[in-house]
Amino acid sequence: MSAFPTFLEDHSLRHRLRLQTLTRLRWLAVAGQSLAVLVIAHGFGFQFHEALCFALIACSAWLNIFLSVRFPAAHRLPPLAAMAVLSFDVLQLFGLLFMTGGLANPFSVLLCVPVIISSASQPVRHTVGLGILSVAAVTLLAFYSLPLPWYPDSNFEVPFLLIAGAWIAIVSTSVFAAVYAYQVSAEASQLADALVATELVLQREQHISALDGLAAAAAHELGTPLATISVVAREMEKALASDPRFADDLMLLRSQSERCRDILRRLTTLSTQDEVHMARLPLGSLIEETIAPHREFGIAIEVVGEESEHKEPVGRRNPGIMFGLGNLIENAVDFAREKVTVTVSHDAATVRIAIEDDGPGFAPDVLAQIGVPFMNRRNRMDREKAGGLGLGLFIAKTLLERSGASLHFTNQSAPASGARVDVSWPREKMDLFGAVKRQNAPVGTGYISKTH
């Protein structure tokens, strides 16, 4: 579980901002800014530098047109280019606010927007740089700006205390919203990476399960050319048997072709005999097959089957279930001191599997975050002992929940110590034949308590 494709660690594509997203937002800003200027100048009759304001708005429109012509709509800007475009938006808005009252203008809060967009999609250092530019612009507007457009016959003076309050509000909003957007984006990206890893693991397990069918197909396809080789070898042996130069080689060729035919015949027969067995897996066999790879690490693994009057569930072979349970058992073995206990039970409605170890158990802060991808600790004192529960446990939990399971993580009650994971399914999710009472079979058949 420690090796995954390197693209999960490559964040270069994640930080490329889609150009069409920026251009659409900027067209919306151009429309809003133009409407605001027209309403203030002609609706209220306020006096200000209308032509200069429209010149700045035209710069934004020109930039949109240039980017749309220069690049395709699906183009993604690298971080430096995205930062340059967002910096232009900050400076353009700074110019508009400078000519329309500075921080006294209620639209000054829009200076937060480029920083928030950057925090959700760009590297931290670029967002910090853009944030510094925005704070510098807000600070300059607090001290230097043209008067707020107002009625010609009156003079509206904004108290500096209100300007200072606006400065604090804009800066604090920028910081809070940027941190919040960054956190949400980081968690979404982390979850996406974990889900990709889950799909890759499931695909690998399904590929392994399909190898039996591929072997049968290969045996069938190779049968015809191998038969042709055998016929040709036989004819050559008849024609050249009297020639001592070729006799040994012909015998070797024929014997080896017969050997290949025997191997292919065994493969085909084995695949036909095991097809039903491979497709259907009793619950007890599922548990033993899942546990087997973990019995060689010096930790005793005991399987306990609780008595039941119902037949043992027989379900379809599910690589996701086997991998998920295997990961839970692997984690239990990693943290156990001496023993891991796997308790299996079933009734007419439910199939349950409980995995317990005698280790230190889950730390309280970890229990609250179980299943969060890339959480890399279970108990702070055991960080160096094992690789943690983060991505592996997330994948296991996701695969098991996809199969219809419910998982519950707890610590064992005193005086016992250690962690406990309860996995349960509705019986119809694990049984092809339904919950039918046993007939002519002793109670508890199918489970054998084993200790390594």
312 three-class SS = coil
Rounded CA-CA distance 150/45 in Å is 8
| 76 closest CA partner among 20, 31, 118, 130 | 20
30-49 pLDDT, tens digit each: 999 999 999 988 888 888 88
* pLDDT band at residue 346 using 50, 70 and 90 as cut-offs: confident
* Stronger pLDDT, 416 or 412, i.e. the higher one: 412
The number of angstroms, rounded, from the C-alpha of 150 to the middle of its chain's C-alpha atoms is 54
Share of the chain above pLDDT 70, in %: 74
Rounded CA-CA distance 15/115 in Å is 14
* Stronger pLDDT, 75 or 217, i.e. the higher one: 75
Tell me what the mean pLDDT of segment 47-69 comes to.
91
Rounded CA-CA distance 118/104 in Å is 25
Q: What is the mean pLDDT of the chain?
A: 76
| 333 closest CA partner among 296, 305, 380 | 296
* pLDDT band at residue 386 using 50, 70 and 90 as cut-offs: very low
* pLDDT band at residue 375 using 50, 70 and 90 as cut-offs: low
| 283 closest CA partner among 345, 228, 223, 330 | 345
Task: Decide if pLDDT at 413 tops 90.
Answer: no
pLDDT score, position 340: 86
Candidate ranges 91-100, 283-292, 310-319, 340-349; pick with highest mean pLDDT? 91-100
Rounded CA-CA distance 219/54 in Å is 76
The label of the residue with tokens 């353009």 reads 92
Task: Decide if pLDDT at 343 tops 80.
Answer: yes
Q: Is 280 exposed, middle or buried (CB count within 10 Å of its CB: 0-12, 13-18, 19+)?
A: middle
Q: With contact defined as beta carbons under 8 Å apart, do 122 and 82 qualify?
A: yes
Task: Decide if pLDDT at 448 tops 50.
Answer: no
The reply to whether the predicted model has a pTM over 0.85 is no
Rounded CA-CA distance 127/304 in Å is 56
* pLDDT band at residue 59 using 50, 70 and 90 as cut-offs: very high
Task: Decide if pLDDT at 270 tops 60.
Answer: no
Backbone CA torsion sign across 90, 94, 100, 101: positive
C-alpha dihedral (51, 56, 60, 66), degrees to nearest 10: 80
Rounded CA-CA distance 108/101 in Å is 9
The answer for residues whose C-beta is within 8 angstroms of residue 386's C-beta and 6 or more apart is 331, 334, 335, 378
Task: Decide if pLDDT at 303 tops 80.
Answer: yes
Candidate ranges 101-105, 196-200, 206-210, 316-320; pick with highest mean pLDDT? 101-105
* Stronger pLDDT, 139 or 248, i.e. the higher one: 139
pLDDT score, position 61: 93
The label of the residue with tokens 């089957």 reads 305
**β-strand pairing of 314-316 with 350-357:** unpaired
Tell me what the mean pLDDT of segment 180-206 comes to.
68
pLDDT score, position 95: 93
Tell me what the mean pLDDT of segment 354-359 comes to.
86
pLDDT score, position 32: 92
